[in-house]
Amino acid sequence: MKTIINAVLILLSLSFLYMLYISIKEPLEFQAARDSRTNEVINRLKTIRECQEMYRDIYGSYAATFEELANGLKTGQFRDIKVIGDPDDPEFTGKITYDTLFTSAIDSIKRMGLNLDSLAFVPYANGARFDLKTDTIKQGNIMIDVIEVGIQRKAFMGKFADISYKKFDNRYDPESRVKFGDLNSPSVTGNWEGK
């Protein structure tokens, strides 16, 4: 009888130890996954923003699709205007000339080590693509191009995409978006910046 009671007590102790282990392991796994996945998505969004700004420098507006962005950067050229002489110097008496140089955008892309064909795909999201929206808004008397690119957290959080994980972080909302830009403002700031 004593052996049976000891065996039951050992089993209970082991089950309590296992539950304690799980209660510690789960929040740590969630926090590690949340941080690493979110950081990788943010880094991809920063790259997309940089590519969209390069595209806008070449063509004057944002690319409306990822295919347009990739093709435009593969074939586009940056224009660099070199001013010879100083137009702001009142004592300069020589002739001011302008020299325009063109450089291939794809060379810059290669130096950055970017793969333009994979920009649209969200890390950890099994082939899901970022939402990309462009528009123009009127501000004052001028029309301004605006852009918004983002994705809901639940798309890349895998098994942690459930609202129940809010118990480990009160601010966690899998329905919230990680994004940059705003269709109502000319800002291209990311919603992760300044936090």
Per-position pLDDT tens, the chain of length 195: 778 887 777 877 777 777 776 767 888 899 999 999 999 999 999 999 999 999 999 999 999 999 999 999 999 888 777 877 777 777 777 777 777 777 888 888 888 888 999 999 999 999 999 999 999 999 889 999 999 999 999 999 999 999 999 988 899 999 999 999 999 999 999 999 865
Kindly give, in sequence order, each residue whose CB lies less than 8 Å from that of residue 111, ignoring residues fewer than 6 positions away: none
DSSP code per residue over 27-96:
HHHHHHHHHHHHHHHHHHHHHHHHHHHHHHHHHSS--SSHHHHHHHHHH-EEEEEEEES-TT-TT--S--
Q: What is the pLDDT of residue 194?
A: 62
Task: Residue 162: name the closest of 172, 170, 171, 151 by CA.
Answer: 172
Residue 11 belongs to some domain of the structure: no
Residue 186 belongs to some domain of the structure: no
Q: Are 43 and 75 in contact (CB under 8 A)?
A: no
Residue 53 belongs to some domain of the structure: yes
Q: What is the pLDDT of residue 69?
A: 96
Residue 139 belongs to some domain of the structure: yes
Residue 7 belongs to some domain of the structure: no
Residue 24 belongs to some domain of the structure: no
Residue 29 belongs to some domain of the structure: no
Q: Are 183 and 148 in contact (CB under 8 A)?
A: yes
Q: What is the pTM of this model?
A: 0.80
Q: What is the pLDDT of residue 19?
A: 76
Question: Which structural domain range is residue 142 located in?
Answer: 35-181
Residue 87 belongs to some domain of the structure: yes
Could you tell me whether strands 131-139 and 177-181 are parallel, antiparallel, or unpaired per DSSP bridges? unpaired
Question: What total number of domains does the chain contain?
Answer: 1
